[in-house]
């Protein structure tokens, strides 16, 4: 899922308090799962902003709505009337959701309520970890199912580097060395010989280096 | 961020009678409050009790809604640690109250207006003591910076 964290309340208030009436739009998908922008978080944020506005004697009306997904047109279409009523929208979704709302309502100011962080997994409730960088050319078949692009600080394809010590990365003693994990897993699988294969330099054009990416499926396209 | 509240006891005046909402667990604090009544113990009438099935049911939204509606202070009262009827509802509530306090501080509100207590259903006198303690604390802090009046500037979407 896409993980995100809520921006500091002062930063959000700085955006919201420029207006008299705002709409906070939550997203029922990834950011609900990581407790950043779901229905409850929208209610909490609205309460905090209302309380802060009242303490500072500001006039602020807040509407709240949480839709299924902010990255799909059909769900955003349903809140058009609410968006029109508001002076500005605070989107508590990932950057994709916030941008689609901005794109759908060109005359409306849209602010981000979250800092979108990474593609990751829930390790346990309250702890999320990065696992994928969306490089566009997955190679974990060669690395025991562990991604060195997302999990090695240097994105090394033929690691580890000299900074690996006792299975930890030199950037942080709590960060596991991705290449130690790869070695351990390949050993467990009896595939250590695959480490003899040198992975060639990666073609990064499938990643961000090729500019904004687009997927087109002719069979599905309307 | 440091709390911005500046209301002192002197500013609040001696007439200030706080509104305190106590979210009480059905299995302990609510029964303790009942026991306090049976024991004919007196405690300040400022405390209004709302019974909840477990403090683990307490959503942060309930706390904020109570403040928005004019509560000057909020008590969350659950079972003693290790004695939750639902195993760990009170431990969940403990973390949630700590987070709510952090959020209150972030908007400049004194987090002492919110407190969690743990007690058993046999502790009638402890409930009376908690109610008195919290009432005294909120009297010292003064009225909520949000005011008693319902926030009429707010329009919520009724679903």
pLDDT digits (tens, 9 = 90+) for A63-110: 999 999 999 999 999 999 999 999 999 999 999 999 999 999 999 999
The C-alpha of A9 sits at a distance from chain B's nearest C-alpha, in angstroms, of 7
pLDDT digits (tens, 9 = 90+) for B54-93: 999 999 999 999 999 999 999 999 999 999 999 999 999 9
Domain residue limits at B24: 18-141
Q: Is B147 left (phi over 0), alpha (psi -120 to 50) or beta?
A: left
Q: B147: pLDDT confidence band, cut at 50, 70 and 90?
A: confident
The full DSSP string for chain A is: -EEEEEPPHHHHHHHHTT-SEEEEEEESSHHHHTTSSSHHHHHHHHHHHHHHHHHTT---EEEEEEES-TTSHHHHHTTHHHHHHSSEEEEES-HHHHHHHHHH-TTSEEEE-EEEEEEEEEEETTEEEEEE---SS--TTTTTT--HHHHSTT--SS---TT-BTTEETTEEEEEPHHHHHHHHHHHTT-GGGGGSPPPPP-GGGTGGG-S-----TTT--
Q: A210: pLDDT confidence band, cut at 50, 70 and 90?
A: confident
Q: Which residues of B touch A (CB under 8 A)?
A: 1, 4, 59-61, 64-65, 67-68, 103, 106-109, 145-147, 151, 153-157
The C-alpha of B145 sits at a distance from chain A's nearest C-alpha, in angstroms, of 6
ipTM of predicted complex: 0.88
Decide if B8 is inside a domain.
no
Residue A106's CB is within 10 A of a number of other CB atoms, namely: 6
pLDDT of residue B9 exceeding 50: no
- A5 close contact with B: CB closer than 8 A: no
Q: Helices B89-106 and A9-16, interaxial angle, to 10°?
A: 50
Distance CA B86, CA B73 (A): 26
Residue of A nearest to B145 (CA): A55
Residues with Cβ within 8 Å of residue B103, at least 6 apart in sequence: A9, A44, A48, B60
- Which of A47, A48, A59 lies at the smallest CB-CB distance from B153? A59
Q: Report the DSSP beta bridge partners of residue A120.
A: A130
Whether A50 sits inside 8 A of B1 (CB atoms) is: no
Residue of B nearest to A40 (CA): B61
Whether A60 sits inside 8 A of B68 (CB atoms) is: no
Domain with CATH 3.40.50.2300 in chain A: 2-118
Nearest CA-CA partner of B75 in B27, B25, B122: B25
Work out how many CB contacts closer than 8 A connect A with B: 63
The reported pLDDT for the residue numbered B154 is: 39
- A191 close contact with B: CB closer than 8 A: no
Distance CA B31, CA B24 (A): 9
Residue B53 is given by DSSP the state: S
Distance CA B132, CA B136 (A): 6
pLDDT digits (tens, 9 = 90+) for B86-132: 999 999 999 999 999 999 999 999 999 999 999 999 999 999 999 99
Q: Which two tokens stand for residue A105?
A: 């309502």
CATH number at residue B88: 3.40.50.960
- A132 close contact with B: CB closer than 8 A: no
The C-alpha of B86 sits at a distance from chain A's nearest C-alpha, in angstroms, of 19
Chain CA centroid to CA A163, Å: 28
Q: Into how many domains does chain B fold?
A: 1
CATH number of A2-118: 3.40.50.2300
Q: Which two tokens stand for residue A61?
A: 């009306």
- Contact residues on chain A for B3, CB-CB shorter than 8 A: none
Whether B107 sits inside 8 A of A62 (CB atoms) is: no
Interface test with B, best of A14, A17, A51 (most B CBs within 10 A): A51
- Which of B109, B147, B157 lies at the smallest CB-CB distance from A64? B157
pLDDT of residue A62 exceeding 90: yes
Whether B68 sits inside 8 A of A50 (CB atoms) is: yes
Interface test with B, best of A16, A50, A83 (most B CBs within 10 A): A50
Residue B84 is given by DSSP the state: B
Whether B107 sits inside 8 A of A43 (CB atoms) is: no
């Amino acid at each position: 899922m896409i993980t995100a964290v809520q921006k500091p309340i002062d930063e959000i208030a700085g955006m919201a308090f420029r207006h008299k009436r705002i709409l906070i739009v939550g997203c029922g998908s990834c950011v609900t799962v990581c407790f950043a922008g779901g229905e409850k978080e929208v209610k909490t944020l609205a309460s905090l902003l209302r309380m802060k506005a009242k303490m500072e004697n500001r006039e602020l009306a807040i509407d709240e709505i949480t839709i299924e997904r902010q990255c799909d047109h059909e769900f955003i279409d349903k809140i058009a009337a609410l968006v029109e009523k508001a002076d500005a929208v605070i989107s508590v979704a990932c950057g994709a959701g916030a941008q689609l709302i901005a794109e759908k309502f060109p005359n409306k100011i849209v602010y981000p309520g979250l800092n979108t962080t990474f593609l990751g997994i829930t390790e346990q409730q309250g702890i999320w970890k990065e696992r994928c960088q969306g490089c566009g050319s997955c190679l974990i078949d060669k690395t025991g199912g562990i991604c060195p692009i997302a999990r090695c600080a240097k994105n090394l394809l033929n690691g580890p580097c000299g900074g690996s010590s006792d299975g930890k990365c030199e950037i942080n003693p709590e960060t596991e060395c991705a290449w130690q994990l790869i070695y351990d897993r390949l050993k467990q699988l009896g595939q250590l010989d695959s480490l003899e294969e040198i992975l060639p330099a990666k073609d990064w054009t499938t990643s961000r280096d090729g500019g904004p990416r687009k997927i087109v499926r002719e069979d599905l396209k309307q | 961020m440091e709390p911005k509240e500046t209301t002192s006891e002197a500013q609040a005046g001696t007439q200030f009678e706080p509104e305190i909402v106590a979210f009480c667990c059905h299995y302990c604090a609510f029964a303790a409050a009942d026991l306090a009544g049976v024991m004919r113990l007196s405690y300040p009438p400022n405390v209004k009790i709302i019974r909840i099935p477990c403090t683990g049911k307490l959503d942060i939204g309930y706390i904020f809604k109570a403040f928005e509606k004019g509560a000057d202070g909020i008590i969350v009262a659950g079972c003693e640690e290790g004695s939750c009827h639902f195993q760990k509802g009170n431990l969940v509530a403990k973390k949630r109250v700590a987070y709510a306090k952090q959020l209150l501080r972030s908007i400049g509100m004194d987090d002492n207006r919110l407190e969690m207590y743990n007690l058993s259903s046999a502790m009638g006198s402890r409930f009376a003591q908690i109610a008195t303690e919290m009432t005294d604390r909120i009297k010292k802090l003064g009225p909520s910076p949000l005011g008693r009046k319902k926030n009429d500037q707010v329009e919520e979407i009724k679903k």
